[in-house]
């Protein structure tokens, strides 16, 4: 499966089901250009997951929503819940292993922990939306 572009208009529907990997990148970024072909190859070998890209220059509101300060940045959702977020280019074996780990997650446990995190964030008056802050999970 080829990668597709993610926009603010398609974001919520895109991340709500299954496994979704988001690559935040920019054309001028050397590490992004290095990671791009790896992301593309892994997308072609894993049709059960969605691979989407966010050009931070074209979609600054999405980059801001995720608090992206360093690129490339990879964010992974499973069933609408952000389960991974980290900046930096990954080698192909590491990305494949990460995808394996996401597939093996016990989503019942993840959902309970995520709901507790949301409740805690709301009780504390947090400005950040836990649903789009995968680094806090």
The Cα 76–Cα 84 span in angstroms is 5
Strands 19-25 and 49-55: parallel
Q: How far is CA 91 from CA 18, 28, 31, 42, 96, in A?
A: 23, 20, 11, 10, 9
Q: What angle do CA 100, 104, 110 make, to 5 degrees?
A: 125
Instruction: Judge whether 32 counts as a catalytic residue.
Output: yes
The Cα 72–Cα 26 span in angstroms is 8
Catalytic residue among 32, 62, 71, 95: 32
Catalytic residue among 19, 29, 42, 71: 29
Q: Check residue 47 and report its DSSP letter.
A: T
Tokens at residue 26, please? Answer: 């920019």
Instruction: Judge whether 29 counts as a catalytic residue.
Output: yes
Which residue numbers are catalytic? Answer: 29, 32
């Amino acid at each position: 499966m080829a990668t597709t572009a993610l926009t603010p208009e398609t974001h919520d529907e895109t991340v709500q089901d299954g496994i979704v990997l988001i690559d935040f990148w920019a054309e001028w970024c050397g590490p992004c250009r290095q990671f791009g072909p790896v992301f593309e190859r892994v997308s072609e070998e894993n049709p059960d997951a969605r691979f989407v890209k966010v050009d931070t220059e074209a979609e600054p509101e999405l980059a801001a929503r995720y608090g992206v300060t360093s690129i490339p940045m990879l964010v992974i959702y499973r069933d609408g819940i952000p389960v991974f977020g980290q900046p930096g280019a990954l080698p192909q074996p590491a990305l494949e292993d990460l995808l394996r780990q996401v597939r093996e997650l016990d989503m019942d446990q993840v959902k309970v922990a995520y709901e507790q995190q949301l409740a805690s964030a709301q009780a504390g008056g947090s400005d950040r939306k836990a649903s789009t802050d995968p680094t806090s999970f």
